[in-house]
Structure 1
Amino acid sequence: MNTAQSAVVTGATGGIGEAIARRLAATGRSVVLVGRDAARLSAVLRRIRDVVPDADLRAELADLSLLRQVRALADRLDPTGIDIVISNAAVVAPLADHTSEGIQRTVATNHLAPYLLLRSLGESLAATGRSARLVVVGASPAALRRLPVNLDDPGLADEARIGVPPSFRPFVAYGRTKNMNAMFVYSLARRLAGSGVTVNGAHPGIIRNTGLGRESARGLLRAFAWTQWVNPLLPGPEAGADTPVWLATSPEPDGVTGRFFVRRREVRTAPHTTDPARLDRLWDISAALTGLPA
């Protein structure tokens, strides 16, 4: 494996994650694809090699909803051989769906997993003095302005306080975790400033064929969601991969950190995602939940 230039991509077994991994492989980098299903990982390796025959690929099996597996993944990855990490994995799970570790699955997968993995790798990379780019795939800042994270209930234990019909609650919860992603980007970037490790967020756009939330949608929301998943007018995963890959590989954002991008342009996220006191509180909550020092 070429340790000089290697990338890690989570949620790489389909959709945007697969497109990101394929484009990175086409640059000649070694690419580590992280997924939770061995059969799907084998299939995506074959698909990428069909397009990039000389691709240097490695599969890493990990269920990112389980923090013990995220820790084990971080331990297996050699930070001295990594210059890119793209956190793309995300789910929309019913609010009652909790992992065997007792954490609501959407929160565990969408926020705590990237917090634990990227913080661990980012701090290790900073300690080695290597330059690296960490990218978190988020969601539309405009759409999320009205979904501030409830820091009194980060684990989404109180469904009634979400304040929408039950069938819509999983998607509101998803939106809150995407705001957590933006808050994490700013917090980690501040802590790694000056180290050579940059941290940025990216909205991939509204993309068809991602399958996100297909199992969780109910009622009218399910009908709406299906129109998004199959809508031929929406761009496909390749378009969704563009901004994350640009952030990870292009010279233009070199040295840029703690920013959020849409269509390769920096945008501002909601004030509730940038308030220093809120950022520090979420950081401390996340550290406690993942077992890391605050």
Structure 2
Amino acid sequence: MNPRTAPTVLITGATQGLGRGIALDLAAKGHAVLLHGRDPARLAAVAGEVRSAVPRATVRTYLADLADLDQVRTMTDRILAAEPRLDALVNNAVAGGGAEPLRREVSAQGHELRFAVNHLAPHALTRALLPLLTASAPARVVNVASIGQEPIDFDDVMFEEGYEGLRAYCRSKLAMIMATFELAAELDGTGVTVNTLHPAHLMDTRGVREYGLTPVTGIEEGVRPTVRLVVDPELAHTTGRYFDRFTDARAHEQAYDTAARGRLVALTDALVGGSTGPNTE
């Protein structure tokens, strides 16, 4: 493998579960992998695991807690300063339903945690990396969403009333899908595609187990459809789509409501671009 010509992919949430599996698979396919994680020890361990499995692989690591937009910005600055190209971004990191689903948690900026980690952080990361992605085009953005989707309540976006962790997760994943459709339309013709998918049903991940659900599929079942969106040449021009594993599918109806998508984009831009103090909306 020639690291100067290897396509480069950034994978968020790469220290365990699906992200780790994607990293190992793409490294074996000849990609240079940029691994993101929030725990230094786990990040170093998975980097070592990839290097051991694929001795000639190019592996670099980036540390950030996606529950803090300031850390997202700092990581992005490091990536832009260090990386000459970026052929794909896989937004995989996730906050699941939680071990205490009735306990509402917030991010460093005071936003509801699932909305912050699953939607605001990948939105901020992707937009900040767009200059590098477009300069590297053809390039791809893959957003790992879920078949679990619940409409966003714009009167209570931060879910301050009747909170429940899995429902918050489902709202945040629909927000990710809606943002995918909006960004794909914006980037049409630039050579950067943006797609999203439900990788597999109830994979054997820590998040699934923490919530008290029983896993029904292995991690590898989610790796294959996700990696396909990164590498399949037949999807080179496919953009703005939601896939249920390998099937081009239809997301929740709110994802096709252009007015709702516009409201979400305006709100997201305000939250991501605004002050780092607690949200009071």
Q: TM-score, normalised by structure 1?
A: 0.85
Q: 2-side partners of 1:179 and 1:80: how far apart?
A: 32
TM-superposed CA distance for 1:55, in Å, is 1.6
TM-superposed CA distance for 1:244, in Å, is 1.3
1:283 aligns with 2:265: yes
| Match in the other structure for 2:189 | 194
Q: Which moved more, 1:187-196 or 1:262-271?
A: 262-271
Q: 2-side partners of 1:246 and 1:46: how far apart?
A: 24
1:153 aligns with 2:153: no
SS in 2 for 1:212: helix
User: For residues 143-169 of structure 1, what are the alpha-carbon distances to aligned partners after superposition, in whole Å with 9 as ceiling and x for unaligned?
Assistant: 42xx211122222222x2x5xxxxxx1
TM-superposed CA distance for 1:87, in Å, is 0.3
User: For residues 181-206 of structure 1, what are the alpha-carbon distances to aligned partners after superposition, in whole Å with 9 as ceiling and x for unaligned?
Assistant: 11010011011111000000011112
| Match in the other structure for 1:135 | 142
Match of 1:183 among 178, 197, 206: 178
Q: Which residues of 2 match residues 92-103 of structure 1 at below 5 A?
A: 92=96, 93=98, 94=101, 95-103=103-111
Match of 1:90 among 77, 81, 94: 94
| Match in the other structure for 1:13 | 15
Match of 2:169 among 149, 161, 174: 174
Match of 1:24 among 23, 26, 30: 26
Partner amino acid, structure 1, of 2:59: L
C-alpha contact 1:18 1:44 (8 A) present in aligned 2 = yes
Across the aligned residues of Structure 1 and Structure 2, the Cα RMSD in angstroms comes to 1.8
Gaps in structure 1 of 5+ consecutive residues = 163-168, 229-233
1:50 aligns with 2:52: yes
Q: 1-side partners of 2:27 and 2:169: how far apart?
A: 30
C-alpha contact 2:193 2:237 (8 A) present in aligned 1 = yes
| Match in the other structure for 2:220 | 238
C-alpha contact 1:187 1:279 (8 A) present in aligned 2 = yes
TM-superposed CA distance for 1:210, in Å, is 1.0
| Match in the other structure for 2:279 | none
C-alpha contact 1:3 1:82 (8 A) present in aligned 2 = no
Partner amino acid, structure 2, of 1:73: M
Percent sequence identity over aligned pairs = 38
TM-superposed CA distance for 1:269, in Å, is 1.0
Q: 2-side partners of 1:16 and 1:27: how far apart?
A: 16
SS in 2 for 1:81: coil
Q: 2-side partners of 1:19 and 1:8: how far apart?
A: 13
| Match in the other structure for 1:64 | 66
TM-superposed CA distance for 1:2, in Å, is 3.3
Match of 1:120 among 122, 128, 147: 128
Q: 1-side partners of 2:234 and 2:186: how far apart?
A: 22
Match of 1:40 among 39, 42, 53: 42
Q: 2-side partners of 1:122 and 1:80: how far apart?
A: 13
C-alpha contact 2:222 2:245 (8 A) present in aligned 1 = no
Q: 1-side partners of 2:186 and 2:177: how far apart?
A: 15
The structure-2 alpha-carbon separation of the partners of 1:52 and 1:96, relative to structure 1 and needing over 3 Å to count, comes to same
The structure-2 alpha-carbon separation of the partners of 1:38 and 1:3, relative to structure 1 and needing over 3 Å to count, comes to farther
TM-superposed CA distance for 1:121, in Å, is 1.4
